[in-house]
C-alpha cells in the first residue's frame, strides 16, 4: 500500500491503538535532552511529524519557540488548539524545507523517519532538515532499535482497546518492518498498514553522508549508552556540517 502513512496517521483508529503512550516518559526525555545539551529558552525547534503536538506543547512550556508540522490534517487541526505566539502548527511534508537556516534543533520523535517506499525520499528529508537548521544546528532522531525489535519479534498479537479488537501481524520484508492492522468497528471491516525501513546505526551514518556528524547515541529516554542488542531505542544526536 503506497503512502500508507497518509491514511493511517489521519485515522481516529491510529490514536486509539496508541492511546497508552506514556506522556510522562516523553516529558522526561525532553527534560533530559534540555539538561544534557543546555538548551536555552527562546531557541527555535522544528518538530517533524508532530502528530497532535504532545511533544511540541511540552517543549514550548519549557520556554522554546516551536513549530510542529505533520502531514495529517486532522492531527494539525487538533494541535492548533494549543497555539500561541511561540507555538505554531501547520500541515507540511517533511521532505520539503519549511524555512531555511531557521531552527536550532530539528526533532524526529517516536520513529517518525523511514516511512517511504523510495529511499530517495528519506534523503529528501535529510536534505530538508539540513537546509532548515542554523549553522551547527542539531538533528535529533528517536528511532526504534531495529536489532532488538527483530530479535524479540512478535509475529502476531491481539490488542483490545475501547472494545475494538486490533489484530496485528508483523513481518520483515525487503528492508522494512511491517505491521498489518485488521479490525472491525461498527459493522465495518478495516485494514491498515505501518511500514518503517529497518534502519540501523550504520545506515544512518551512510544516509547522513557529508551533511551531519553523529555526536552522541543513546539507548533509552534516560540517555544511557546505546547497545545494539539490548537498548529499547536508538536515539541519535547529529550536528549539521558546514
pLDDT of residue 87: 98
Q: Residue 11 — φ and ψ, nearest 5°?
A: -95, 145
| Beta strand extents in the chain (DSSP E only) | 44-48, 65-70, 87-91, 103-108, 133-144, 156-161, 164-173, 176-185, 188-197, 212-218, 233-240
Average pLDDT taken over every residue of the chain: 95
Of the candidates 48, 13, 34, 49, the residue with the CA atom closest to the CA atom of residue 162:
13
**pLDDT at 1 exceeding the cut of 50:** no
pLDDT tens column, 114-138: 999 999 999 999 999 999 999 999 9
- Give the span between the Cα atoms of 91 and 51, in whole angstroms: 10
pLDDT tens column, 136-172: 999 999 999 999 999 988 899 999 999 999 999 999 9
Ordered structural domains, the chain, with CATH:
4-144+199-240 (3.40.50.150), 149-194 (no CATH)
In this prediction, residues 18-46 reach a mean pLDDT of 93
In this prediction, residues 51-69 reach a mean pLDDT of 97
pLDDT tens column, 64-116: 999 999 999 999 999 999 999 999 999 999 999 999 999 999 999 999 999 99
Strands 176-185 and 87-91, by their bridges, are unpaired
**pLDDT at 2 exceeding the cut of 90:** no
pLDDT of residue 152: 87
Amino acid at each position: 500500500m503506497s503512502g500508507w502513512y497518509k491514511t493511517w496517521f489521519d485515522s481516529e483508529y491510529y490514536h486509539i491503538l496508541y492511546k497508552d503512550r506514556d506522556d510522562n516518559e516523553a516529558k522526561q526525555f525532553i527534560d533530559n535532552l534540555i539538561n544534557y545539551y543546555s538548551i536555552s529558552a527562546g531557541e527555535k525547534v522544528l518538530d517533524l511529524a508532530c502528530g497532535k503536538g504532545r511533544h511540541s506543547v511540552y517543549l514550548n512550556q519549557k520556554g522554546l519557540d516551536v513549530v510542529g508540522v505533520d502531514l495529517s490534517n486532522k492531527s494539525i487541526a487538533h494541535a492548533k488548539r494549543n497555539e500561541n505566539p511561540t507555538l505554531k502548527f501547520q500541515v507540511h511534508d517533511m521532505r520539503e524545507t519549511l524555512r531555511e537556516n531557521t531552527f536550532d534543533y530539528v526533532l524526529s520523535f517516536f520513529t517518525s523517519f523511514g516511512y517511504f517506499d523510495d529511499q530517495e525520499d528519506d534523503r529528501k528529508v535529510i536534505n530538508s532538515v539540513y537546509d532548515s537548521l542554523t549553522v551547527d544546528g542539531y538533528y535529533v532522531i528517536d528511532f526504534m532499535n531495529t536489532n532488538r525489535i527483530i530479535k524479540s519479534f512478535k509475529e502476531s498479537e491481539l490488542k483490545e482497546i475501547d472494545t475494538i479488537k486490533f489484530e496485528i501481524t508483523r513481518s520483515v520484508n525487503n528492508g522494512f518492518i511491517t505491521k498489518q492492522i485488521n479490525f472491525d468497528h461498527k459493522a465495518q471491516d478495516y485494514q491498515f498498514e505501518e511500514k518503517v525501513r529497518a534502519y540501523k546505526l550504520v545506515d544512518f551514518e551512510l544516509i547522513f553522508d557529508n551533511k551531519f556528524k553523529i555526536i552522541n547515541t543513546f539507548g533509552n529516554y534516560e540517555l544511557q549508552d546505546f547497545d545494539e542488542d539490548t537498548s529499547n531505542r536508538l536515539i541519535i544526536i547529529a550536528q549539521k556540517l558546514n
